[in-house]
Amino acid sequence: MSDLVLTSTEAITQGSQSFATAAKLMPPGIRDDTVMLYAWCRHADDVIDGQALGSRPEAVNDPQARLDGLRVDTLAALQGDGPVTPPFAALRAVARRHDFPQAWPMDLIEGFAMDVEARDYRTLDDVLEYSYHVAGIVGVMMARVMGVRDDPVLDRACDLGLAFQLTNIARDVIDDARIGRCYLPGDWLDQAGARIDGPVPSPELYTVILRLLDEAEPYYASARVGLADLPPRCAWSIAAALRIYRAIGLRIRKSGPQAYRQRISTSKAAKIGLLGVGGWDVARSRLPGAGVSRQGLWTRPHHV
């Protein structure tokens, strides 16, 4: 294992147990590139949020300077051959090996710019646009690493990223509010008369959270269709990740507002169980008539 892969693997192990668990199912070469891409994405997110490998975000004093530096370092990695730090060296290696359009990594940076600008998300479409930039494009890049080049299949990969992010938003409502952020649609909050305050959601806020989880469901369903176009072990890994992430939303539904009194996550035992279920999802995705239309779903920009 190269030093770059080893450093990236340490980052994923500390930053996301769910992703680390699912990645173990991938073939070695694809797994290495997936882990390296994740390491850069995680590093970029942590730079903007003042985090350390997935810890709770903290307000930072110089967000614009951090964003500017991230843009400069990312372009240096994509366009040049000079020395860069490990996360950017990982991005360079993966982007060149899999022929990423430069716009893809820069789309992720644009998502962080939305955070720095404290963008106001008034509608569901606003939230989905943000979700594309911070998660949907990651799904697209991951699918390319797995050998996908067809736009319709990349759209399905983007759908999984959107579903993940909508779930993340639902889970992190209280934590985000502590640093002055809100990703729930403003018009939904207004309609429900909901405010974000206190350690647990009010009944009004909880209805908005459930509404967002409902919106994630067709994106999860669309993403399952894309499993059929991935190499089998990759498909199994992604199916497991889908199940593990979706379980977060199911826990919110089952436990109600009190779920927010502690970190909402999936236990290690549950993760192991969901790995097996993911295998059945892959098999079902390959059956005749397993397709689900994307009609009506938000669609990513297609870069030339």
Domain boundary assignment for the chain: 1-98, 119-303
Q: How far is CA 255 from the centre of its chain?
A: 23
pLDDT digits (tens, 9 = 90+) for 192-235: 999 999 899 999 999 999 999 999 999 999 999 999 999 999 99
Q: Centre a 10 Å sphere on the Cβ of residue 74 and count the other Cβ atoms it contains.
A: 23
Comparison of pLDDT for 212 and 38, the residue scoring more: 212
pLDDT at 271: 72
Residues 157 and 226 sit within 8 Å (Cβ to Cβ)? yes
DSSP calls for 213-258: HHHHHHHHHHHHHHGGGS-HHHHHHHHHHHHHHHHHHHHHHHHGGG
State pTM to two decimals.
0.91
The CATH architecture assigned to 119-303 reads Orthogonal Bundle (1.10)
Residues 141 and 119 sit within 8 Å (Cβ to Cβ)? no
pLDDT at 55: 46
pLDDT at 15: 55
Q: How many CA atoms lie within 13 A of 210 on its CB side?
A: 15
Q: Which helix (H) or strand (E) is 8 found in, with range?
A: helix 3-15
pLDDT digits (tens, 9 = 90+) for 251-280: 999 999 999 988 887 777 777 777 777 878
The pLDDT of residue 20 is above 90: no
